[in-house]
Chain A
Amino acid sequence: MTVRHLTTTVAAVTGLAVALTACGGGDDNTSTTGGPLALYTWVSSQSDREQWESFIAEAQKEDPDLEITVEGPSFADYWTKVKTRFSGDDAPCLLTTQAARAQELGSLLMPLDDLVEEHDFDLSEVDESMLEGMTVDGSLRAIPYDAEPVVLFYNADAFAAAGLTPPTTEYTREQFVADATALTTDDHKALAVTPGMFIPAAWATAGDASWLNGDGELDLTNGDFVDEIQSYFDLVAVDGVANAPNAADASDVSQQAFTSGQVDMLIEGPWMYGTFDEAADFTLGVTIVPSPSGQPHGMTAGSGFGIAATCDRPDEAFEAIVALTSTGVQESLAASRGIVPARAEALPAWAEGKGAGAADVVSALLSNATAQVTTTTWNQVETLMTQYSVEGFRGERSAEEIMQTIQDSVGG
C-alpha cells in the first residue's frame, strides 16, 4: 500500500463516518412541521406500548383526526432522558409526568391555564388532589388521567383464619397494629415494608402530616412528619410485625412476599390490584392506609399528559390531551388496564371485576386525598431515604436523626 493510497483510504473512511453521523442525527421533527403529534413517555415493555396505543385508539373514537406517535425509554430511564430529549430542537409536543415528578419537570412543561380557559375544559370533573399535584408555581402543567390513592392490601383468608374483622373504609392504627401482631408468629410476619419514601409518605399523609411547609419547601424535620415516620419504622423496630428490608430491595420483593403468602398485608398503589389478584391464591382484601383516627386520608399518586414548553402547536396538543383524558378513554383504560381514573364518573368501570368494597375504599380515600406533591430535589430525598430507612427499620437510628440527615444533605 502506498502513502497516497493510505491517505485516500483514511479520507474515505473519515468522510463515510461523517456522513453516517449526519444521517443518524435525531428523529423527524414532528412538532414543528405538522403531521402526527409525538408523545414522549415511558415505554418499559410491550405492555406499556399497548397501554399508550389503547389510549390513542380510544381517544381517536372521540377525535377521529387525532394522530399521535409514541416514543420513549424505559420508566427507570425516563426521568433522566426526558430532560435531554427536550433540550434538543426536535422535541415532541406531548409528554407524560407523574404528580410526584411534576415539580422536577416543571421547566419542561407549558402552563396550561390559558389553554384550559380557551378550550372551556371543565376541571371540576377531574380529581382535585391530582390537579394540585400537577400544579407547579401556581399553574397547571398536566391533565391527569389517573388518581391512585395508596391502599393497604390484605389477605382476607388470613384475617378470617385468625378470627379478625376485615377492615373496610375505616381502620385505626391501633387496630392495625393489634391485627398485625395477631397475625405475626416466630417465622411469619404480618406486613412487608420497602425502603424509600413513597410508602412512608402515604403513611404520614394518612396521619395528616406533610413533608412540605406552607411555602411548598422541603420540611422533613417538622415534628408531625418525624413522628409519623418514627411510627412507621416502629412497625419493624418495636412492634416486630415486619422484617427490615435490605436497601437494594425493590418493591417487587415485598410484592412477591405478599402474593406468595409470606406476609398478610402490604401498602401499595391500587394499580397493583389486578396483578395481585391474579398472582395470589387467596381472597384479596383492600382497605385504607391506617390512620390514627381511623378515617381515610389518601395520598394520591398518578400521571398525566402535559405539553412541552417548546411546543409550537399548543392548541393541537391540548385538543389531543382533551381527547386522551376524556371520560370514555378513562372508562376503557380503567376496565382494560386497571388504572384508577382521574374522573370520578369513570370509577365504576374500575370497580368491575374487583372484590366487594374495593371501589368504596378508593372512593373514600379520594374523598379526602392529598397528592404526593414534592420538590425539585425529591429524587435525592427518595435515594437517601432508600439508603437510610434500613437503619430506621432496624432501630439503629431514629426518624429524627434520619430526617435531619436527609434535610441537611438535600439542603432545603
Chain B
Amino acid sequence: MEVMTGTRTAAAGAPSAPATPRSGRRRRADGRVAALFLAPGLIGFVLFIVVPLGGSAVISLYEWPLFGSPAFVGLDNYAKLFGDPAFFTALTNTLIFAFVYTALNLVLALAIALWLGTRLKGAGIWRVVFFLPVITPMVANALVWRLMLSDDGALNSALGTVGIEGQSWLSDSRFALAAVIAMSVWQSFGYNVVVITAGLTSIPKEILEASRIDGTNPWQRLRHTILPMISPSLFFASTMTMIGAFQVFVQAQVLTQGGPGESTNTLVLYLYRNGFSFDRLGYASAIAWMLFVVVMLVTAVQFAGQRRWVNYDK
C-alpha cells in the first residue's frame, strides 16, 4: 500500500526533514492523495450543504412560486417576516419546545442511564425497550399518541377510572404544546440514554471507589464525580438534542396540525407550509435562513459555555 506508507513517512518525518526537491514532490503527492481522500466527503458537503444553502439564500430574495417565473424582491421577504405575527408565534413555540424538550430529555435520559448503571437485572433488555421508540417511525408514534390523547382516548379513560376528569390534550391551547413535547421526549430520550450510558461506563472504577472510600454519599458522587466525568457526553447530547429540537416538524404536523390556533405551530412546519402548500418558496427560504441563524446562535452559545462545565480530563 504505497499511499499509506507515504502518508506515514510524511507525518513522521515532516518536522525535521530538510526541504529537498524530493520531499517537495512527495509533499505535493501527499497533498493530491489527501485531496482524493477528502473528495467524497467534500463533494457531498458542497453539493448537498453549500450549494443548497447558497441556493436558498438566493431564492429568499425572490418571490418564487413552484410554477411560473420568479420575481426579484430584494429583502422584502425578510421585512415581511419581521411583520408576520405567525412567524413570531412559531419562533416562540419552537424556542419553548427546544429548551423544555432538551431539558426534559436530558434529565430523563440521565436518570434512566444511572438506573440502568446500577446492578440491575436485565439492564440490556431495558436499554432496548427505551431505545425502541427511537427506531420506530416518528409518524407511526405520533399517530398512536394522537389516539391516546384524543378526547375519548386511553389517557382520559385511564384518568376517568381514578376519578380524574380528562382534558382535551390536543384541542386545548393550554395543553397542546405540552402534549407535543411529551410525545417528542418519549420518542427520543432512548438515544441519549445510550450516549450517557457510554459516558458512564467509561468512568474508571478506581475513581468511584476512591470517592466512596473518601466517604461521599451517592448525591455527592453524582454531583462531584460522575457528572463532571460524563460532561463531554452530556455536552454532545445537549447540543445534538437542541439542534434536532429546532427542526421539530412531524410531531406538530401529525398530532395537532399546528393548532389549536397557532399554539403548536413550529418554524419548520410554518416553513414547509409556506414552501409547499402556500406556494411561497422565497418566503419559506427566508424562514429557513432565520432558523439557520437561530440554531447557529444557540449552538455557538452552547460551545462557548462548555468551557465552564465540560471536563475533558481523564
Interface window among B182-190, B249-257, B291-299, B302-310 = B249-257
Q: Is the CB of A244 within 8 A of B66?
A: no
Choose, from B103-111, B192-200, B258-266, the stretch at the interface: B258-266
Decide: A86 near B278, CB < 8 A? Known: A2-B2, A3-B36, A386-B257. Answer: no
Q: B57 on the interface (CB 8 Å rule)?
A: no
B204 interface residue per 8 A CB criterion? no
Binds B, one of A31-39, A298-306, A343-351, A389-397: A389-397
Residue of A7, A84, A87, A391 with most partner-chain B CB within 10 A = A391
**Once the chains bind, are A248 and B277 in contact (CB under 8 Å)?**
no
Q: Is B67 in contact with A86, judged by CB distance below 8 angstroms? A: yes
CA of A1 to CA of B36, assembled, Å = 13
Q: Which residues of B contact A84 (CB under 8 A)?
A: 66-67
Give the residues in chain A near B170, CB-CB below 8 Å: 246-248
Closest CB-CB distance, B105 to chain A, in whole Å?
23
B259 CB, nearest partner CB in chain A, Å: 3
Is B96 in the interface zone, CB < 8 Å from A? no
A contact residues around B3 at 8 Å (CB) = 1-3, 6
Interface: B276 (CB within 8 A): yes
Q: Are A80 and B39 in contact (CB under 8 A)?
A: no
What residues on B are CB-neighbors of A1 within 8 Å?
1-3
Most chain A CB atoms below 10 A, which of B32, B67, B146, B253: B67
The answer, yes or no, to whether A238 is at the interface (CB within 8 Å) is no
The answer to whether A409 and B86 touch (CB under 8 A), given A10-B39, A246-B256, A247-B260, is yes
- Tell me how far the C-beta of A227 lies from the nearest C-beta in chain B, rounded to whole angstroms: 22
Given contacts A10-B36, A386-B257, A379 and B277 within 8 Å (CB-CB): yes
Q: Which residues between 233 and 285 of chain B lie within 8 Å of chain A, taking CB atoms?
A: 253-262, 265, 273, 276-279
Give chain A interface residues in 389-412, CB to chain B under 8 Å.
Answer: 390-391, 394, 396-397, 409
CA distance A195 to B3 in the complex (A): 64
Interface of chain B residues 17 through 66 with chain A (CB within 8 A): 29, 32-33, 36, 39, 65-66
In the complex where A83-B279, A243-B151, A248-B146 touch, is A387 in contact with B36 (Cβ < 8 A)? no
Give the most central of B29, B253, B256, B257: most A CB within 10 Å: B257
B255 touches A248 (CB 8 A): yes
Q: Are B36 and A6 in contact (CB under 8 A)?
A: yes
Chain B residues with CB under 8 A of A377? 278
A74 interface residue (CB < 8 Å to B): no
A336 located at the interface, meaning its Cβ lies under 8 Å from any Cβ of chain B in the complex: no
Task: Determine whether B211 belongs to the interface, using a CB cutoff of 8 Å to chain A.
Answer: no
Tell whether A387 pairs with B33 under 8 Å between CB atoms, given A1-B3, A84-B67.
no
A380 at the interface (CB under 8 A from B): yes
Q: Do B36 and A390 touch across chains, with their CB atoms under 8 A apart?
A: no
Given that A87-B66, A388-B261 are contacting pairs, would A247 and B168 also be in contact in the complex, using a CB cutoff of 8 Å? no
In the complex with contacts A2-B2, A246-B170, A247-B171, A383-B273 CB distance below 8 A: yes
Which residue of chain A lies nearest to B4 when distances are taken between CB atoms in the complex?
Answer: A1
Within 8 Å by CB of A387, from B29, B265, B276, B277, lies: B265
CA distance A397 to B260 in the complex (A): 11
- Cβ B257 vs Cβ A83 within 8 A: no
B227 to chain A, nearest CB (A): 39
Q: Is the CB of A3 within 8 A of B67?
A: no
Is A283 part of the contact surface with B, judged by Cβ < 8 Å? no
Knowing that A84-B66, A246-B171, A387-B261 touch, tell me 19 more A-B residue pairs with CB under 8 angstroms. A1-B2, A3-B33, A7-B36, A80-B276, A83-B279, A195-B257, A246-B150, A246-B168, A247-B170, A247-B171, A379-B278, A380-B277, A386-B257, A387-B260, A387-B262, A388-B260, A394-B168, A394-B172, A396-B173
Q: 20 A-B pairs, CB-CB below 8 angstroms?
A: A1-B1, A1-B2, A3-B2, A6-B3, A10-B39, A80-B66, A104-B279, A107-B68, A195-B259, A244-B168, A245-B171, A246-B168, A247-B171, A248-B255, A248-B257, A379-B279, A383-B273, A383-B278, A387-B258, A391-B261
Chain A residues in the interface with B (C-beta under 8 A): 1-3, 6-7, 10, 80, 83-84, 86-87, 104, 107-108, 195, 243-248, 377, 379-380, 383, 386-388, 390-391, 394, 396-397, 409
> Which residues of B come within 8 Å of A, CB atoms?
1-3, 29, 32-33, 36, 39, 65-68, 86, 146, 150-151, 168, 170-173, 253-262, 265, 273, 276-279
